[in-house]
Amino acid sequence: MGKPVPLAEQFIAGGVAGWRQGLERAGTYPFAADVTVPGESGRTVVERRPLGVVGLIIPWNFTITSILGSLLPLLAAGNTVVLKPSEKSPLSAARFVELLDLPPGVVNLVHGDARAGRPLAAHEDVALPHFTGSVEAGRSVGVAAAQRLQRSVLELGGNDPVIVDADVDVAATAQAVAFSSFVNSGQICTSSERIYVHRAVAQEFIAALVDAAGAYALNADRDGTGLGPLVDETQRSLVHAHVAEAVELGATVLCGGAVPDGPGFGYPATVLTGVTADMRLMREETFGPVAPVVVVDSFDEAIELANDTGFGLAATVYTHDPVHQQRAGDIRAALVWINAWQQGGVNATYEPWGLSGVGATGADASFDAAPRPVSVLLAATD
């Protein structure tokens, strides 16, 4: 989907490391376990049995990493899987399935757009729709499962906030926020999309953020750290529409903000100020290299604005104040990072809030979602 090769290699390596950790976890996960109940005469065994067929629908931004992160618990539980990658980046998934050394029918591949995804999610033989993608598509998957009175796992969009407190190392924090806003051209569900900075450091931080944005040049070469293109024209048009609307309503573009000439679907690293809560840039998922900055007068105001959203996937807080670090947990998000972004690794367990999805994932939670628990009681007899 156009990401710079070093970045693709980095995320695939992370996915492989997670797969290996998942293999270790599968060896110790209690797929069958005796349960002792006080006062009970007899023996109860909790068996976690396969659900059957899982419809695994994955997004275009991290195809292989998404497969590696989802597939192993489903297979370890004894399920078969029908995999549908995004029509925007299907080839790596096809190659992955070709390389799998599994019996026929264990992992099956279906290509296509929503015309393939909808019937897969709604099929009566699919026991668990497992979907990562947009809110709109995820809602239709959830409805299809609910109509059959079945559960689903949905990881959907985000409009993730960042809070920059008054006591931070401004230059280092600006570099970190630039990375979380611009890496992979902002096409990560946990990308930083709303930045709330304390007035005491706002002027210095904004200048440092604009300076940091300069390192994210368009059209990175193989060994570069710049920006690859957005995945397609539709995505670039959406990103630019959010920026253009914000400017029309009074925001100021400090860098970027224009569709470049030439081939491909690049969009520059963009920093805006003067944004307001009613702009689509602050209400919807932009999914592009755009960093809108809002100046706040207090940490309390930043928390309040961070929670002013229907999403609840991730949030990042930069502060050295112990009280403020504790209060970071007041943000309604599945993942809250303090003084670092994208931390936690394979042992993180989380469940999104609101429009960001349904169902806990990560670590044992991913294994919990893959089978159906059944308790079998063998009564004591004379």
Same domain as 104, residue 16: yes
Residue 266 sits in a domain whose CATH number is 3.40.309.10
CA atoms 128, 129, 135, 140: torsion sign = negative
Residue 82, domain extent: 5-156+356-379
Is 351 within a domain?
no
Same domain as 330, residue 263: yes
Is 339 within a domain?
yes
Cβ distance 110 to 120 under 8 Å? yes
Same domain as 374, residue 260: no
Cβ distance 306 to 197 under 8 Å? no
Same domain as 307, residue 169: yes
Burial bucket for residue 98 (CB in 10 Å: 0-12, 13-18, 19+): exposed
Is 64 within a domain?
yes
Residue 265 in 3-state DSSP? coil
Set 189, 193, 284, 285: catalytic member: 189
Query: What is the reported pLDDT for 224?
Result: 59
Residue 66 sits in a domain whose CATH number is 3.40.605.10
189 is catalytic: yes
Same domain as 200, residue 296: yes
Distances (CA, A) of 340 to 123, 164, 316, 318, 351: 41, 12, 7, 7, 20
Same domain as 299, residue 165: yes
Set 9, 155, 285, 304: catalytic member: 155
Is 19 within a domain?
yes
Query: What is the reported pLDDT for 221?
Result: 61
Question: How confident is the prediction along the chain (382 residues), in pLDDT tens digits per residue?
Answer: 888 888 999 999 999 999 999 999 999 999 998 887 666 778 889 999 999 999 999 999 999 999 999 999 999 999 999 999 999 999 999 999 999 999 999 999 999 999 999 999 999 999 999 999 999 999 999 999 999 999 999 999 999 999 999 999 999 999 999 999 999 999 999 999 999 999 999 999 999 999 999 999 997 665 556 899 999 999 999 999 999 999 999 999 999 999 999 889 999 999 999 999 999 999 999 999 999 999 999 999 999 999 999 999 999 999 999 999 999 999 999 999 999 999 876 678 999 999 999 999 999 999 999 999 999 988 887 6
Is 281 within a domain?
yes
Partner residues linked to 160 by β-bridges: 192
What are the helix (H) ranges across the chain?
Answer: 5-28, 63-76, 91-99, 114-122, 135-147, 170-182, 199-213, 233-248, 280-283, 299-306, 322-327, 364-369
Cβ atoms within 10 Å of 3's Cβ, excluding its own: 22
Query: What is the reported pLDDT for 226?
Result: 83
Question: What's the total number of domains in the chain?
Answer: 2
Same domain as 267, residue 227: yes
Partner residues linked to 270 by β-bridges: 290
Same domain as 128, residue 17: yes
Same domain as 189, residue 225: yes
Is 326 within a domain?
yes
Residue 272 in 3-state DSSP? strand
Type of residue found at 100: L
Residue 43 in 3-state DSSP? strand
> Using alpha carbons only, what angle is made at residue 10 by residues 154 and 336, rounded to the nearest 5 degrees?
45
Same domain as 142, residue 24: yes
Distances (CA, A) of 368 to 34, 73, 268, 322, 364: 17, 9, 41, 34, 6
Same domain as 280, residue 207: yes
Same domain as 188, residue 151: no
Is 241 within a domain?
yes
259, two tokens: 């569709």
306, two tokens: 């961070």
